[in-house]
Structure 1
Amino acid sequence: MTNKHLGPAFDDFLDEEGILDEVTETAAKRVLSMGFARLMEQQNLSKAEMARRMQTSPNQIRRLLDEADTGVTLHTIMQAARATGGRVRITVE
Structure 2
Amino acid sequence: MARKRKGSVSEETFDEFLAEQGILGAVEDHAVKELIAEQLAAAMEQQGLTKVEMAARMRTSRRQLDRLFDPSIPSVTLDTLRRAANAVGRSLRIELV
Shift of 1:8: 4.6
Partner of residue 68, structure 1: 72
| Aligned position for 1:44 | 48
Determine the structure 1 residue equivalent to 2:23.
19
Q: Distance in 1 between matches of 2:71 and 2:46?
A: 19
Q: Per-residue deviation at 1:39?
A: 0.6
SS where residue 93 of structure 2 aligns? coil
The separation in 1 between residues aligned to 2:60 and 2:24, in whole angstroms, is 32
- The 1-side partners of 2:30 and 2:91 are apart by 20
Residue from 55, 59, 63 that aligns with 1:55: 59
RMSD of equivalent CA atoms: 1.4
Q: For the pair shown, which has the larger CA radius of gyration, 1 or 2?
A: 2
- Taking structure 1 as the reference length, the TM-score comes to 0.88
TM superposition score normalised by structure 2: 0.85
TM-superposition CA deviations, 1:37-75 (whole Å, max 9, x none) = 111111110111011111111111111111222111111
Moved over 6 A (4+): none
By how many angstroms is 1:26 displaced? 0.5
Change (3 A) 1:8 1:91: farther
Where do 5+ consecutive residues of structure 2 fail to align? 1-6
The one-letter amino acid paired with 1:44 is G
Count of residues paired in the alignment: 91
Q: Does 1:91 align with 2:72?
A: no
